[in-house]
Every structure is written in structure tokens, then in C-alpha cells.
Amino acid sequence: MICTTLLTSLPLQALNSLVSGWDSLLALFALNLVSSLVVVRFIYHMAAKRRDFVFTFMLVSTAVFLLCRLLAGVEIDLAFALGLFAIFGIIRYRTNAIPIREMTYLFIVIALAVINALAPLAASWMEIVVANVLIWVLSFVLERLWFVEHLATKMVVYDRIDLLHEGKRGELVADLERRTGVTIVQLEIGKVDLLRDTANIKIHFSADNEPGHFEEGQA
């Protein structure tokens, strides 16, 4: 009975003892890499089909993990901590605004990186694995099994302002669908430039029913 107990508890004790050193770093790095791949590649990318954010998510997850892991045992004063948060706070993507859905996945991969880097200092490996699996399952259920239509949004510069008049909404939608190749669910008319005879129109279409996303530009 005693031998059986020792044999069954030995692997967990060995795993829990890996809280410092290069072997722990490599093991946790592999765990975080696999966990991030599950969320980013097999849940997010399978639904969104956007490769640009896969690159961002994976590198942000890796950078945050290494930052948290290597600084876990360092006593950081208040000024350094505030400066670190300020660096992350001023980082912005200047080209396009990140959609809410992508921001959520960015938060998920950052949370996974922090959990996998710092949790071994206070929790067992079994708890860490369970936490990762729970995040995978919840992300998969909300993304793939909970049938919620994903609406993508694009801004177009439209050159037929004569169709913006009242009573011509049907013609406007038909022309935009013909020229953009998507089925429009909703549209919003923004700034109208009478000098150039153009208007900024935000169109909303189903991302699930369309084979791909067209680039923002002129319609």
C-alpha cells in the first residue's frame, strides 16, 4: 500500500519540483506554446481565417511568457513596474483598429502566458493543465459550438452619392453587394465629400457565409 502510494505520487512530485532552472523553463515554454497553438491555430484561425493575427498572438504570448517567467523572482520596485505597464499601454497598432474579437483572443493568450509562467510558483502542474484545458474548452464552445453569427465590418469609399438619397437604399445595397461580392446585413453612411462625390460607408456582412475578406478600399 505504501509502495503504491509512493509510485503514484512520484510523477506529480517530480513535476511539482520543477519550479526553477532551465529544465523548468523549457517545460513551461513547451506547455505555453502548445496551449497558445490550440487557442490560436485550432480555434481562432479555423473560424476567422486571418493569418496576420496568428503571427501577433503567438509572438505576444511567447514574449509575455518569457518576461513573466524570467522576472518572476526579481523584486521590482514601483517605478519600474509602472514603467513596464506604461510601455505596454502606449503600444498601439497604427494601421487598423483591432476588432473586439481579436482583442479578446489577445487577452486570452496573454492570460495563458502569465498563468503558465507564474502559476508553478504557487500551484501544482495538474492545476495549471486543468486551467489551460478549461480556457481551451470555453473558447471552442463559444467560437464553434455556440451558433452565433460573426459579423465582419469593412469601410469602403463609395463614389455614387446619388444612391444615398431617401428611397434608394435598395439600389445602394444591391450596387455595393455587386461591387464588393458580399451579402450586406447592415450599412452605415459616414462622411460625405461633395467636392469629390464620395462617401465613407461602413458595411456589415456575415463572416461565416463569405469565403474570404476583401481589403478595405474604394468601391
Query: Would you kindly state where each structural domain of the chain is located, as residue ranges?
Result: 14-145, 151-218
Locus of grid cell 453587394: 177
* pLDDT at 32 > cutoff 80: yes
* Residue 95 burial (10 A CB sphere; 0-12, 13-18, 19+): exposed
Model pLDDT for residues 135-173, shown as the tens digit of each residue: 999 988 887 766 556 667 889 999 998 999 888 889 999
b or e along 133-150 (b: 16 or more beta carbons within 10 Å of the residue's beta carbon)? eebbeebbeebeeeeeee
Distance CA 195, CA 193 (A): 5
Model pLDDT for residues 94-145, shown as the tens digit of each residue: 455 677 778 888 889 988 988 898 888 777 888 889 999 999 999 888 877 6
Instruction: Give pTM, 2 decimals.
Output: 0.58
Q: Are 146 and 170 in contact (CB under 8 A)?
A: no
Model pLDDT for residues 60-104, shown as the tens digit of each residue: 889 888 878 877 766 665 566 656 666 555 555 545 567 777 888
